[in-house]
Amino acid sequence: MSGIDEIVGEFLIESYENLDRYDADLLALEQDPTDAEVLSSVFRTIHTIKGTSGFFGFDQLEKLAHVGENLLGRLREGELPLTEEIASALLDTGDTLRRMLGVIEETGEEGDLDVSELAERLTRLYEGEAPPADAVAADEPVEVADEPVTAEHEAAEVADEPPAFDAEGNPIGRIGDLLSERGKASPEDIAAALEAQQSGDARRFGEILVNKGAADPEDVEAYVEEQARSSGRSVSDSSIRVDVGLLDELMNLVGELVLARNQIVQLVNDEQDSRYAGASQRLNLITTELQEGVMKTRMQPIGNVWNKLPRVVRDLSLAVGKRVDLEMVGQETELDKTIIEAIKDPLTHLVRNAVDHGIEAPEVREAAGKPAVGQLTLRAYHEGGQVNIELSDDGKGIDADAVRDKAIKQGVITAEQAARMVEREVLTLIFSAGVSTAAQVTNVSGRGVGMDVVRTNIERIGGSIDIATEIGQGTTIKVKIPLTLAIVPALIVSTAGDRYAIPQLSLIELVRLEGEQARTGIERVHGSPVYRLRGRLLPIVDLSRELERRGEHDEEREVVNIVVLHADGQQFGLIVDDIHDTEEIVVKPLGSHLKDAALFAGATIMGDGRVALILDVMGIAERARVVSETRERADSTEQFAASDITVTERKTLLLVEVGDDRRAAIDLTEVERLEEFDVSAVEWGSGREVVQYRDAILPLMRLADALGVGGGYLEEGSMDVVVHTIDGHSVGLVVGKILDIVEQEIRIDHLDDRPEVLGSVVVQGRVTDVLDTHALVGAGGQDSFGSYAGV
Amino acid sequence: MSTDTNVAVETQFCTFHLTNLMFGIEVERVQEVIRAQPMTGVPLANPVVEGLINLRGQIVTALDLRRRLELPARPEDLEPTNIVVRTSVGQLSLLVDRIGDVVDVDQATFEGPPETLEGVARELITGAYKLDGALLLVLDTEAAVRLPGVV
């Protein structure tokens, strides 16, 4: 690269950066047109581009910048107000300048981009004229390089303006000053030239001086160059620009180093010599620091993506006749560059969507008692090794029913499926192809990526997307993404003799069941294994079963290791044979033969050099139908019969069969445990039926007898028992059969004269009594049960 | 793979053995040959996918050619050799029973697939060279690494 190319390159980079700020400044100016500081900044940007492009001989660029500058000059003098039209024209100027810079970057030449129309528009605005009645005719190019353009020129400008500033706000040395300071021209001559210029001399400042013989042409040229150069020297000396490709390569190398380090550390563990241990310890530390350092170089504030959004919101809200205020919180939140790139389009789409579909037209908002200006808030923050991005609007919200109808109409789901879905699931349908709730398709909704692509893109980088909405109040979309892709912390587990890595991102906690617990901790509800984790039923997935590797898998485990994970907002427990360490793993993609292996997100190389697969937690949840579990439960959520309503409550109920085909429901929070005893285990003590249970005696109560429905006594086999604990005393309720667990709204009508029944509901099409366990046990003589305590 | 017999071009093949058959792959396709490697199986994958190996930091999918060609399973005590090949879908390792020599063949000795071949093997063999005392079956590598049901 020759010297001049380098300078041009620097000019391009500077100008791009300045133009980005130019956009932001203009938008800020629209909010507060009186901010002189921001206006100066806008002015300086264009001014600098004009000056430097003139120096390089990019005439078109200079001309456009010049008319833009003229217009800005009038704004700055307070001669023109910043109208929407002017702002739009100035923003378009920025876009066009960018395009022209792009052409220069590609070809090194200015190209022949036609700027006459835009220049004319700017000039017209500059002159304060109303736009002509007919649209600007393209075949009537206005000579841009006309009077107002040539009237003042670069050098003149610099001399008679207050000192110009470069991007960092440092004054750029004026040619006049430079010349006089170094004794190349007398202050008198300079003052005279200035005066001549101000009184209408159209020549360049330097030109005037040279023509008068007051300065050497070579000196002027040298200083003009120096001046132009000084405007490109704004990058702080403490930073350098590095090619992203180089950083990518460094990252790959560090990835390899991490693998080698892991291997060495493992080898040294088997080695007795302490010198090796010391060296490997150091290698370990240095590698970790190097990895962090290299990762840091790739980190960028999320604001780099966001800074395009105010413009998107502005243009779009103007186009669709809405008023939207965009607030951004947490711009400084840092993310890996590759991730920043990956979320750019999805995020833009979400913002467009919010403006187009979320926020209502001003008159609609006012009618609904909301401020006419819609509020859109973008928030980013770190949380547990990942970044959350929330986009909330105070718009109309999403009508789940409308989504449902649309999805059925579009054939995305069937009516039966729809009936079984809970609201959250319905909402996620907007991420399916072909589902849009827009009453009418605007030119916005048809453009760019669809919501399905948004989700796909976000999930591809290991992120997730969630949606919450309230009709009339607004919608919040929450996107969770990992900090970095290349190296992630992961938990190493093993099952059926193979190791697997589980990204820490999906991990919630680890549960280890031993001894008695290992045998009884996993209960079954309706055939599905569950574990009671702090009062909540956690669906259990057996990894070896899902992977169809049953090797050493056995029902009778000594120890049960449960890895509690979350996927798509659902928690579930994954049973594995062994849990090992947490390790930094380098994610490598799987070959094309394994692309559709939904259970694996990639592979990595472990310390011993062997390959381990990385589990795709979402894929496992889907395969094990953990995610769809709510669907089946929702299936049984139906209307209920009671009409005399006093209290409404949403409860999770355990459905049991009692006696001869009758059903009853028990509030799950009252259920301590579900057990199965052999009929022969029933003994007799203190006048009651009892069983030995967990080193104590558990009194039994026949639910069929208590409810007076009779039947249900078995001669042999096993019986289902619901263990209920009150005040530290346990009672086993003998039921005919444990049927299911459902979530249901129950309205308790105390009209029922039976004290042991809270009320009746219809569950799965059948009238079911909801039992009051306390009253039941009390009626059975709680004192007599209590006497067994501590035995 | 040219079947033009008019031009007597010498072609080099890397040969290998599966059961009692001898196969050949064009030499330029073969990146390297390595002995049996620790293999990580991929549950639920296509049965032809034997697993993943670590090739100097790169993770390479290994395909079992016996299974691909629907030949009898390899005996437990026979450690397969990896032939790492370059294909249109990237690096892959083909597991074979035993590696043979690199041989020069004369196009004139080329013939279509022998009648004795049956089933899938017939689709994956472009033809045979009649060597002294043996037939060299030419494997269509691209077809062999394209698994049914895998795009």
Q: Are strands B58-64 and B98-106 parallel, antiparallel or unpaired?
A: unpaired
Q: For A253, what's the count of Cα atoms within 13 Å in the CB-facing half-sphere?
A: 9
User: How far apart are the CA of A586 and the nearest CA of chain B, in angstroms?
Assistant: 10
CB contact set of A274 (below 8 Å; sequence gap of 6+): none
CA pair distance A356, B60, nearest whole angstrom: 46
Q: Which two tokens stand for residue A155?
A: 């050098």
Q: What share of chain A is helix, strand, coil (3-state, %, to 5)?
A: 45, 25, 30
Answer yes or no: is pLDDT of A780 > 60.
no
CB A75 within 8 A of CB A36: no
Q: Of A593, A596, A609, which is closest to B61 when you measure between CB atoms?
A: A593
CA dihedral angle for residue A57, residue A58, residue A61, residue A66, rounded to 10 degrees: 0
Query: How many beta-carbon pairs under 8 angstroms link A with B?
Result: 72
Q: Chain B neighbours among A 496-515 (CB < 8 Å)?
A: 498
pLDDT at A25: 85
pLDDT at B13: 93
Q: What mean pLDDT do residues A679-685 have?
A: 83
Would you tell me the crossing angle of helices A36-56 and A3-31 to the nearest 10 degrees?
Answer: 160
Please indicate whether, in this complex, the C-beta atoms of B42 and A600 are within 8 angstroms of each other: yes
State how far the alpha carbon of A677 is from the alpha carbons of A700, A716, B73, in Å.
11, 11, 48
Q: What are phi and psi of B92, to 5 degrees?
A: -145, 155
Q: Chain A neighbours among B 39-68 (CB < 8 Å)?
A: 40-46, 49, 51-54, 57-61, 63
The reply to whether B134 touches chain A by the CB within 8 Å rule is no
The reply to whether A594 touches chain B by the CB within 8 Å rule is yes
Please indicate whether, in this complex, the C-beta atoms of A599 and B44 are within 8 angstroms of each other: yes
CA dihedral angle for residue A183, residue A185, residue A191, residue A197, rounded to 10 degrees: -140
CB contact set of B21 (below 8 Å; sequence gap of 6+): B71, B137
SS3 (DSSP) at B76: coil
Per DSSP, the residues of A9-33 read HHHHHHHHHHHHHHHHHHHHHHH-T
User: How far apart are the CA of A265 and the nearest CA of chain B, in angstroms?
Assistant: 17
Q: Which residue in chain B has the smallest CA separation from A623? A: B44
Query: Which is higher by pLDDT, A624 or A4?
Result: A624
Q: b/e map of A327-365 (b: 16 or more CB within 10 Å)?
A: ebebeebbbbbbbbebbeebbbbbbbbbbbbbbbebeeb
Residue type, A588: K
Residue with tokens 């692309």: A595
Residue with tokens 């992977």: A547
Q: Are strands A611-615 and A498-503 parallel, antiparallel or unpaired?
A: parallel
Q: b/e map of A122-157 (b: 16 or more CB within 10 Å)?
A: bbbbbeeeeeeeeeeeeeeeeebeeeebeebbbbbb
SS3 (DSSP) at A643: coil
Q: Which two tokens stand for residue A477?
A: 């979309």
pLDDT at A392: 92
* Burial status of residue A484 (CB atoms within 10 A of its CB: 0-12, 13-18, 19 or more): buried
Q: Is B7 left (phi over 0), alpha (psi -120 to 50) or beta?
A: beta
* Count of Cβ atoms closer than 10 Å to residue A585 Cβ: 27
Q: Are strands B58-64 and B49-55 parallel, antiparallel or unpaired?
A: antiparallel
The reply to whether A603 touches chain B by the CB within 8 Å rule is yes
CA pair distance A377, A695, nearest whole angstrom: 58
pLDDT at A486: 66
pLDDT at A182: 60
**Domains located in chain A, CATH noted:** 3-231 (1.20.120.160), 244-298 (1.10.287.560), 301-398+437-482 (3.30.565.10), 488-627 (2.40.50.180), 636-786 (2.40.50.180)
A55-60 long-range contacts, CB within 8 A, separation 24+: A55/A154, A55/A224, A55/A225, A55/A228, A56/A8, A56/A11, A56/A228, A58/A100, A58/A104, A58/A110, A59/A110, A59/A145, A60/A100, A60/A110, A60/A112, A60/A113, A60/A115, A60/A144
CA pair distance A351, A254, nearest whole angstrom: 36
Answer yes or no: is pLDDT of A784 > 70.
no
CB A393 within 8 A of CB A357: no
Using an 8 Å CB-CB cutoff, list chain A residues near B151.
592, 595-596
Q: What mean pLDDT do residues A670-691 have?
A: 81
Domain range summary for chain B, segments of one domain joined by +: 10-145
User: How far apart are the CA of B70 and the nearest CA of chain A, in angstroms?
Assistant: 18
State how far the alpha carbon of A679 is from the alpha carbons of A519, A663, A682, A685, A690, in Å.
20, 21, 6, 15, 11
pLDDT at B16: 95
CA dihedral angle for residue A225, residue A230, residue A233, residue A238, rounded to 10 degrees: 130
Q: Chain B neighbours among A 284-313 (CB < 8 Å)?
A: none
Answer yes or no: is pLDDT of A375 > 80.
yes
User: How far apart are the CA of A618 and the nearest CA of chain B, in angstroms?
Assistant: 16
Answer yes or no: is pLDDT of A209 > 90.
no
pLDDT at A221: 67
Q: Of B41, B54, B90, which is closest to A591 when you measure between CB atoms?
A: B90
Residue type, A537: L
Per DSSP, the residues of A174-196 read PHHHHHHHTTSS-HHHHHHHHHH
SS3 (DSSP) at B59: strand
pLDDT at A571: 85
pLDDT at A175: 58
DSSP A429: G
Query: What are the pLDDT digits (tens) for B36-75?
Result: 989 999 998 888 999 999 887 788 999 999 999 988 999 9
Where helices occur in A184-273 by DSSP H, the ranges are 187-198, 205-212, 217-231, 244-269
Query: Which is higher by pLDDT, B151 or A511?
Result: A511
First to last CA, chain A: 90
Q: What are phi and psi of A16, to 5 degrees?
A: -60, -50
Q: What mean pLDDT do residues A623-648 have?
A: 42
Q: Which residue in chain A has the smallest CA separation from B61? A: A591
CB A745 within 8 A of CB A648: yes
pLDDT at A220: 65
Q: What mean pLDDT do residues A597-625 have?
A: 85
Query: What are the pLDDT digits (tens) for A464-515?
Result: 788 888 888 889 998 888 776 667 788 999 998 899 999 887 888 898 888 8
Residue A343: its H or E element: helix A337-353
* Chain Cα centroid distance, residue A335: 11
State how far the alpha carbon of A447 is from the alpha carbons of A322, A441, A589, A594, in Å.
18, 10, 31, 33
CA pair distance A597, A497, nearest whole angstrom: 20
Answer yes or no: is pLDDT of A749 > 70.
no
The reply to whether A599 touches chain B by the CB within 8 Å rule is yes
* Chain Cα centroid distance, residue A527: 36
SS3 (DSSP) at A60: helix
CA pair distance A414, A407, nearest whole angstrom: 8
Question: pLDDT above 90 covers what percent of chain A?
Answer: 7
Q: What mean pLDDT do residues A247-271 have?
A: 81
A423-430 long-range contacts, CB within 8 A, separation 24+: A424/A569, A425/A630, A425/A631, A426/A400, A427/A398, A427/A400, A427/A403, A427/A467, A427/A468, A427/A469, A428/A467, A429/A403, A429/A404, A430/A398, A430/A403, A430/A467
CA pair distance A164, A676, nearest whole angstrom: 86
The topology under which CATH files domain B10-145 is OB fold (Dihydrolipoamide Acetyltransferase, E2P) (2.40.50)
* Count of Cβ atoms closer than 10 Å to residue A750 Cβ: 13
Question: pLDDT above 70 covers what percent of chain A?
Answer: 73
Q: What mean pLDDT do residues A755-761 have?
A: 70
Which of B49, B50, B53, B59 to mutate: most A Cβ within 10 Å?
Answer: B59
SS3 (DSSP) at A361: coil
State how far the alpha carbon of A465 is from the alpha carbons of A309, A427, A616, A713, A776, in Å.
19, 11, 16, 52, 46
Q: Which residue in chain A has the smallest CA separation from B88? A: A592
Per DSSP, the residues of A571-614 read EEEEEESEEEEEEEEE-BPPPGGGTT-TTEEEEEE-TTS-EEEE
Query: Which is higher by pLDDT, A201 or A141?
Result: A201
Query: What are the pLDDT digits (tens) for A328-358?
Result: 998 888 888 888 888 888 888 889 888 888 8
Query: Which is higher by pLDDT, A361 or B5?
Result: A361
Query: What are the pLDDT digits (tens) for A298-327?
Result: 888 888 888 888 888 988 888 888 899 999
Please indicate whether, in this complex, the C-beta atoms of A603 and B147 are within 8 angstroms of each other: no
* Chain Cα centroid distance, residue A523: 36
Indicate the pLDDT class of residue A212, thresholds 50, 70 and 90.
Answer: low
